[in-house]
Structure 1
Amino acid sequence: MNKDNAVKSSNGLWNTILLGAAAFLLVLAVVSAPEPAFQATLQALKLWWNIVFPSLLPFLVLVEILIAYGWAHGVGVLLDPMMKKIFKLPGTGGWVLITGMTAGFPAGAQAAAGMHKQGELRAVDAGRLAALAHFCNPMTILVVIGTGLLHKPEAGYLLLMVHWISGLLAAWTFSLFSKSPSAEAGKRGAPVDNDRMNEWAKRPILRRAASAALDAHRRDGRSFGKLLGESVTRSVQTLMMTGGFILFFAVITRVLTGQLLPQLPPYLVPGLLEAHLAAQSISSSAFQAGALQLAVLSAALAWSGISAQLQSLSLMREAGLSWRYFMAKRFLHSMLAFVITLAIWKPVSTLSAGIVPAFRTEPLDHADTEQFFNFWSGLPSFLQVQGMICLLLIAAFWLCSRLIGRYPR
C-alpha cells in the first residue's frame, strides 16, 4: 500500500508540474501576441452565442423536464429490446440515446448524469450511455456546416447520416465486449420476481410505457415551477461551462497554429481540439478531392474534439466515466465515419451531381465568416426541425425494437 501511495504521489507531482508548465507557456504565448488571442476569443464567443447557446438551451431544459415527468422511462420501455440486445444497456438508455442524437453534446451526457443521479442507472451504464449518446447537434451539421459553410444542403444530410450510422456502429462494436445488464444483475444476486415480470410483460407496450412514466414522475415529486427553475439554472450552468471550454480551446488553437506548429495543416489542430472550429477550418482548406475533404470533416465531427469530450466527462465525473474508454469510443467513431464517407461518396455523388462544387478550395473572406456566424440567429424554425428529428428517431427506434423483440435473447 505504501508503494502504491508513493507511485500515485509521484504521478500526481509530475502531472502538476507538466500542467503548470503548459499553463505558464500558454500565458507567455498570449502575452507575447495578445491581438491574435483576442481575435480567437472573440470569434469563439460569436460561435458560442450564435450557434451553441440557442441550439442547446431549449433542449437541455426540455431534457430535464422530460426526465422528471417520466418520458425517459416511457421511451425506455418502448426501446427496451433494442437497447438490451444491440448495445447491452438498460432499456431506459433509449431516451439518453435519442437526446444525444437530437440535441448534441453534451446533452446526452447531461441526460445520463441526471438519470444516474436519480438512481435509475448504475454508474457503469451511465458512463457507457454517455459515450454512446455523444453526437454533434444535427442542426449544426445541416444548417451551419451543410448550408453555411459548404453551401450545399445535400452535403449536410450526408454528413448527418454518416455521423449517426458510424456512431451506432462504434457503440455496437464496443458492446460485443460488454456484458448485458441482466447478466450483471444475476452476478450481484439481484432478486427477480418472475410472476410480476410475466404479468408486466403481458400488458400492451404502450400501457407499460405510460405506467413507467407515471411511476417515475411520482418518484421525482417536484412541482412544475421548482422543476422549471432548477432545469433552467442547471442548463445555463452547463452552457456556460461549454462556452468556457470553447473560448479556452480557441486560444490554444490560435497559439499552436500561429506560433508553435505553423507547418502543420491548418485544420489538424482545430480538428483535435474543437469541433466547430474544425468544421470552419476544414471547409475553407484546399483538398485534392472533394471526397477527401468531406471524409476529414466527417472524422472531425465524430472525434468531436477534446473540448467536447471534456464537457461530457465533466458532467459524468460522479459516475466515474473513464476518459480512456471515452476517447477509444471517439477514435473508433472517427475512423468509421472517415471510411464510410469515402465508401459511399461515389454512389451518392452520382445521385446528386451538384455536390462536388460545394467544397470550396479558397479561404473564406471576412464577410463570409460573419455570414456564417450570423446565419444561425436568423433561423426561426430550428426547434421545430429538431423536434421532428426527435419524433422520427423515436418512431424508427421503436420499429426496430419491435422487430428485434420478436426474437429471443
Structure 2
Amino acid sequence: MNHDKAIKPSSGIWSTLLVGAFAFLLVLAVVSAPEPAFKATLEALKLWWNIVFPALLPFLVLVEILIAYGWAHGVGVLLDPLMKKIFKLPGTGGWVLITGMTAGFPAGAQAASGMYKQGELQAMDAGRLAALSHFCNPMTILVVIGTGLLHQPQIGYLLLIVHWGSGLLAAWFIRLFGKPAPSTDKQVSTTAYNKVRSKQAQRSILMRAATAARDAHRRDGRSFGKLLGESVTRSVQTLMMTGGYILFFAILTRVLTSYPLSQFPPYLVSGILEIHLAAQSISSSAFSSVTLQLAVLSAALAWSGVSAQLQSLSMMRETGLSWHFFMIKRALHSFFAFVITILLWKPVSALSEGHVPAFRTEPLTHGGADTTYSFWSGLPSIIQFQALICLLLIAAFWVCSRFIGRHDH
C-alpha cells in the first residue's frame, strides 16, 4: 500500500511534464507559422458561430426546461420496457437517448448529467446513457453535410439513418456481450418513476406518465423565470466550451497536418480529432469510389472526434465514466456505421434517379458559406424540424416499448 502511494506522485509528475512539453511544442508551432494557425482559428470560429451555436442553443435550453417540467420522467415511464429490455437501463434514460439523437453531442451528456444531479439516475447508469446518447446533430448531417457539402440531400438522410441505427446497434451489442460493471451507488428510490410503479401500477400508462411528470416538476420547484435564466446560462456555457474545443482542435489539426503527420491524408487526422473539420475534409477529397467516401464519412461521424468525446466526458466527471468504455462504444459505433453504409449504398443508389457522384473535388467555397449562413435565417424552421424529429422518435420508441412490454407479459 505504501508502495502504491510512492508511485502515484512520480506518475503524476511524468504526465504533467508530457502535457506541458506538448503544449510548449504546440505554441512553438503556432508562433513559427502564425498565418495558417490564424486561418484555421477563423474557419473554426465561423463553423461554430454559423452552424453549431444556432443549431444547439435553442434545443439545449428547451431540454433543460422540459427536464425541470417532468417530461424526462413521463417519457421514461412510456419507454421503460424498451430501455430495460434492450439496453438494461432505467426507463428515464429514454429521454436522454432521444435528446442525444435529436440535439446531438454534448446535449445527451448534459441531459444525463442534469438527471444525475437531480438524483434521478445512478452514476453508472448516467455514464452509460451519456455514451449511448452520443450522436451527431441531425442538422449537421442533413443540412451541412448532405446539402452543403455533398449537394445531395437524400444522402444526408441515408447517413442519418445509418448513424442512428449503428449507434443503437453498438449499444445493444455492448450490453449483450459485455459484462456490466458492479455499481457501488445506492439504489435510487426517490424517483417519480419508482413511486408510480410501486403505488399506481394499476393505472394506465399515460396516467402514470402524467403523474411522474407532475411529481418531478414539484420536486424541482423552480419558477419559470428562474428556470429560464439558469437554462440559458448553462446552455451558453456548454456552447462556449464546445467552441473552445473546436478552436483548439482546429489549430492542433492544422499543426499536425503541416509538420509531423503531413504524409497522412488530412481527413484522417481531422477525422480522429474534430468531426466538423473532418466532414469538410472528407467531402472535398477524391476517393476511389463514392461508396468508400460515404463509408469513411459515416465512420467519422460515428467516431465523432476526440474533441466531441472530451466535451461529453467533461460533463460526466461526477459519474466516473471512463474514457476507455466511451472509446470502445465510439469505435464499435464507427465500425458498424462503416459496414452498414457499404451494404446499403448500392441498393439505395440503385433506387435513386441518376448516379451523380456524391463527392466534391474542390474545397468548400462561397457556396458553403451561404449554406451555413442560412442556419440563422432558417432558425425557426430548424427548431420546428428538430421538434418534429423529437416527437417522431418518442412515438417510434413508445410503439416499440409497448410491443416489448406486451411480449414480456
TM-score of the pair, normalised by structure 2? 0.95
Change (3 A) 1:224 1:350: same
Distance in 1 (alpha carbons) for counterparts of 2:400 and 2:35: 53
Hey, what's the Cα distance between the residues in 1 that align with 2:105 and 2:302? 11
Residue deviations 1:220-248 (CA, integer Å, cap 9, x gap): 00111111000000000000000000000
- What are the residue-to-residue correspondences of 1:4-403 with 2, within 5 Å? 4-177=4-177, 197=197, 200-354=200-354, 356-360=356-360, 362-364=361-363, 366-380=365-379, 381-403=381-403
Distance in 1 between residues matched to 2:36 and 2:197, nearest whole Å: 63
Paired AA for residue 223 in structure 1: S
- Aligned-pair CA distance for 1:177: 4.3
Cα distance change on mapping 1:67 and 1:36 into 2, 3 Å: same
Percent identity between the two aligned chains: 73
Deviation at 1:261, TM superposition (A): 1.4
* Cα-to-partner distance string for 1:333-355 (whole Å, 9 max, x where unaligned): 00000000001111111111445
Change (3 A) 1:189 1:274: closer
Q: What is the CA-CA distance between 1:13 and the residue it aligns to?
A: 1.4
How far apart, CA to CA, are the structure 1 residues paired with 2:196 and 2:231?
35
* C-alpha distance in structure 1 between counterparts of 2:322 and 2:355, whole Å: 39
Alpha-carbon spacing, 1:348–1:186, altered in 2? closer, same or farther (3 Å): same
After superposing on structure 2, the runs of 4+ consecutive aligned residues of structure 1 that deviate more than 4 Å are 177-181, 183-191, 194-199
CA distance in 2, matches of 1:63, 1:91: 17
Contact 1:112 1:126 in 2 (8 A): yes
| Alpha-carbon distance in 2 for matches of 1:178, 1:303 | 20
Q: Is 338-347 or 365-374 further displaced after alignment?
A: 365-374
Amino acid aligned to 1:76: G
2:319 corresponds to which letter in structure 1? A
Give the direction of change, closer, same or farther, for the CA distance of 1:139–1:388 in structure 2 (3 Å limit). same
Q: 1:76 to 1:365 in 2, by over 3 A?
A: closer
Could you tell me how far apart the structure 2 residues matched to 1:375 and 1:189 are? 45
Aligned counterparts of 2:355 and 2:271: Cα–Cα separation in 1 = 23
For structure 1, the residue ranges without an aligned partner over 5 or more in a row are: none
Structure 2: gaps (5+ residues): none
Query: Closer, same or farther in 2 for the Cα pair 1:39/1:210, shift >3 Å?
Result: same
Amino acid at match of 1:259: Y
